[in-house]
Structure 1
């Protein structure tokens, strides 16, 4: 038996709701991120749809990275990639390059093994397929002084192609397990004697008068200083790059559709079109930041100069790694890193008893290192192996840094660099709007952008 329900003494809340209205939020979305890159990148307004970066003439010295392919456990160099070696720069004999590529021998080294010893005869050209190699030289007081850290795609010993009467100027040791391809001096001597085009190319390159350039590879400006009297002063001029790069504005677009009856009848208390546009623009801005980081045409990661990319010393990002990233350029404005990379850096600092300072940027608290903000960006990819990259950049036209590009004037502009164009109403009563966001990014000089690669976030 159930107890008899007592009669209600007052109006229920369920019934009362029929006479009330609710307080509503704006439509929410989980896809919005801080988008620090969009807010901190200086934006240059482009009037003609493209932006040309004029630079001083830079001599190509063949110091790019080399690409390999593998078949099972066997690793081979792509023949055309051998033209990245300084003395093979411009060499286009495909058959000769293929023969040279096949002559490389695969070797493996364990961590700590010596690949080359300073002072011993230079007997191989070494191409690093995978792993990390540290180069050092005897220090002033008997200890080893570290020079740099090489990783997959780097190479050394290429001067062997010009002369066999040389010695190693540095010691190279594997810091991790390494797979390398080597070309022994004896094998090269046989090929050089047999392949006439190779012999002629290397001979012609060695016979060229050395071109004067500064440490950045730019054509030198001849000057004199510290003189007395009336010596003959050098004449000079500043040579320009004959083929400057041009950046065309890219676009992210979508067509927003709204039914006429919705915008006519259901516009209170919130404007339906306005909310649809707001969320669409948020999605476009997220896509913009992704493209600025990853686009193969102008993205910061693909655009970074190989000379300004280097791996971490031991895997996780340490204070030493970020110091190295800082010292490779002046006026670093900020680091850009995946949130997991920032967390990994925090763990390394904690293990050393260090506590990174925080600062205020645009009214928000951010982690800093050496006074430089570390800004999170989840658009930086993380590999399946748990590695990512950290970017350090100088920004602004005045500092010859990294800049963002957007159009100066747009018809029907809704926000800077973004417009909304009315496309009409179809026979079903659906109104369409074309929403377009125009953007690009430019690295004015190579050292404005540096990338710390192989950043492990899992340990």
Structure 2
């Protein structure tokens, strides 16, 4: 056991060796200049251990006071609510206008549209060998609606696989159309001739696109542009003579092709909608055309989807451990956050109503060189009369920023809900990590117009649910089981609809690892 002796401050005269034990006396003597002051006006301050009579203090492991571990037994710590890394900004959920769907189903009525073979062809591959799926040949205009599987199988077997290196010409402008060409993999640039003879770009073809489909007709004509491989390309080619031979063997195919007339369809506008007959600029009393607006006979209907889970909380936890935070509330808060994250994921990726899968094929374009460039973003904006938001994976936004920096350009910054966000041509570019990025660094960028009044993209939900916790989200008590566990059913109901095709566009094959 150590003994701690309290020091007493003393004043020590250097000449007379006088020790003043009362420090107050010493200080007063300095102030009034009494005879106790040193002849040279200096005192030395020293200390010496003295026995003060204070009881000894035990020192255990160097500790002389109450430890914090012991003190916590009598005090509460200040703590945070439970944190969760998976919470994102969820811009899509915040910015979509939500429409009340009281009946549980939302029907999108549109004008009647005539579409002929504007889809994409799908392929299968075994090793390096690629083959078109026979039923997918129905995406070609002349074969749309033809359903003989044996004939389609034979036609699929007639395609020849070809490989093209970057820069190699696939078809030349003005050459006769003598092959049906299906692009199985790669990008093909469409190149034309400008007004003054210069070369101009007419667009990009990529996986699933086709050209030369007029080779299936009696008068195929010539190619109106040059198709040049922008990347390494795999192309399947069906020679016109092979198709003619199949016509000779199949009466059904011959009758189907003979009945097809590319110019015999009903009059349409540039969007494929049935024409509304009008006249203008006339004088006198000409006969005015009669017309009516036709509607789709089978309009698309969107049913509300659901994301659900059963939250389980032990009754002992709920009863005894509710200070300073309610355990059930915190469990529910994090569960709702997870449901909202899943809701945004479904709005992007669901095959029935997700935006990546429901964009019109005419509103899908490809990047010119791989990474997203200002030219690509301008092309995406030019496809619609108005655009409100871009949505892109953060890596795609960074890739776009690198391309702007390489050109000496600086994207705009706009204020959105009090937060500065990057923008292009005044359209905010918002992060959304629900847009997938493949292992080889390929993703997509969405652009959309929103709102019913603007014929845009809308979110669908139903409010006023029983036991509603948030709009469109309910928490229903399910009871307590035999193990004393309280159960709650947490449900979120939602969907999304694209009112007209040009409300939503997609920039595809965006490469984010490209330097």
TM over 0.5, shorter chain: yes
Q: Report the 3-state secondary structure (helix = DSSP H, G, I; strand = E; otherwise coil) of the residue aligned with 1:325.
A: helix
Find the partner of 1:440 among 495, 503, 506. Answer: 495
What does residue 36 of structure 2 align with?
A: none
Deviations 1:182-211 (A, max 9, x none): 112222222223322111101112298331
Q: Report the 3-state secondary structure (helix = DSSP H, G, I; strand = E; otherwise coil) of the residue aligned with 2:312.
A: strand
For the residues of structure 1 that align with 2:210 and 2:487, how far apart are their CA atoms?
Answer: 55
What does residue 56 of structure 1 align with?
A: 111
Q: How far apart are 1:104 and its partner, in Å? A: 1.2
- Conservation of the 8 A alpha-carbon contact between 2:130 and 2:184: yes
What does residue 21 of structure 1 align with?
A: 76
Q: Report the 3-state secondary structure (helix = DSSP H, G, I; strand = E; otherwise coil) of the residue aligned with 2:114.
A: coil
For the residues of structure 2 that align with 1:100 and 1:295, how far apart are their CA atoms?
Answer: 33
For the residues of structure 1 that align with 2:263 and 2:162, how far apart are their CA atoms?
Answer: 34
Paired residues in the alignment total 457
Find the partner of 1:427 among 474, 482, 490. Answer: 482
Deviations 1:92-115 (A, max 9, x none): 111111111111111111111111
- Conservation of the 8 A alpha-carbon contact between 1:135 and 1:170: yes
- Conservation of the 8 A alpha-carbon contact between 2:100 and 2:460: yes
For the residues of structure 1 that align with 2:352 and 2:220, how far apart are their CA atoms?
Answer: 43
Deviations 1:130-182 (A, max 9, x none): 11111122110011222110001001111121124511111111111111011
What does residue 395 of structure 2 align with?
A: 340
Q: Report the 3-state secondary structure (helix = DSSP H, G, I; strand = E; otherwise coil) of the residue aligned with 1:108.
A: strand
Q: How far apart are 1:307 and its partner, in Å? A: 1.6
Deviations 1:46-74 (A, max 9, x none): 00111111111111211100001112211
What does residue 210 of structure 2 align with?
A: 155
- Conservation of the 8 A alpha-carbon contact between 1:125 and 1:182: yes
Q: Report the 3-state secondary structure (helix = DSSP H, G, I; strand = E; otherwise coil) of the residue aligned with 1:287.
A: helix
For the residues of structure 2 that align with 1:365 and 1:420, how far apart are their CA atoms?
Answer: 35
What does residue 116 of structure 1 align with?
A: 171
What does residue 439 of structure 2 align with?
A: 384
- Conservation of the 8 A alpha-carbon contact between 1:126 and 1:181: yes
The reply to whether residue 238 of structure 1 matches residue 293 of structure 2 is yes
Q: Report the 3-state secondary structure (helix = DSSP H, G, I; strand = E; otherwise coil) of the residue aligned with 2:404.
A: helix
Find the partner of 2:464 among 378, 391, 409. Answer: 409
Q: Which runs of 5+ in 2 are unaligned?
A: 1-58
What does residue 65 of structure 1 align with?
A: 120
Find the partner of 2:237 among 177, 182, 200. Answer: 182
For the residues of structure 2 that align with 1:208 and 1:184, how far apart are their CA atoms?
Answer: 24
- Conservation of the 8 A alpha-carbon contact between 2:214 and 2:220: no
The reply to whether residue 450 of structure 1 matches residue 473 of structure 2 is no
Superposition map of 1:210-229 within 5 A: 210-229=265-284
The reply to whether residue 140 of structure 1 matches residue 198 of structure 2 is no
- Conservation of the 8 A alpha-carbon contact between 1:162 and 1:206: no
Aligned-CA RMSD value: 1.7
- Conservation of the 8 A alpha-carbon contact between 1:404 and 1:441: yes
Find the partner of 2:146 among 91, 94, 97. Answer: 91
For the residues of structure 1 that align with 2:262 and 2:307, how far apart are their CA atoms?
Answer: 51
Farther-moved stretch of structure 1 (198-207 vs 137-146)? 198-207
Q: Which runs of 5+ in 1 are unaligned?
A: none
**Alpha carbons of structure 1 residues 53 and 7: separation in structure 2 relative to 1, 3 Å:** closer
Q: Report the 3-state secondary structure (helix = DSSP H, G, I; strand = E; otherwise coil) of the residue aligned with 1:344.
A: helix
Q: How far apart are 1:9 and its partner, in Å? A: 5.0
Find the partner of 1:368 among 388, 398, 423. Answer: 423
Superposition map of 1:258-273 within 5 A: 258-273=313-328
Deviations 1:409-446 (A, max 9, x none): 20111000000111112233221111100011111111
Q: Report the 3-state secondary structure (helix = DSSP H, G, I; strand = E; otherwise coil) of the residue aligned with 2:260.
A: helix
Q: How far apart are 1:387 and its partner, in Å? A: 0.5
The reply to whether residue 194 of structure 1 matches residue 271 of structure 2 is no
Farther-moved stretch of structure 1 (163-172 vs 286-295)? 163-172
For the residues of structure 2 that align with 1:419 and 1:455, how far apart are their CA atoms?
Answer: 38
Q: How far apart are 1:6 and its partner, in Å? A: 8.8
Deviations 1:333-386 (A, max 9, x none): 111111111111111111111111212211222111111111111111111211
For the residues of structure 2 that align with 1:230 and 1:211, how far apart are their CA atoms?
Answer: 27
Identify which of structures 1 and 2 has the higher relative contact order when contacts are C-alpha pairs closer than 8 Å and 6+ apart: 1
What TM-score results when the alignment is normalised by the length of structure 2? Answer: 0.86
For the residues of structure 2 that align with 1:210 and 1:251, how far apart are their CA atoms?
Answer: 41
What does residue 314 of structure 1 align with?
A: 369
What does residue 16 of structure 2 align with?
A: none
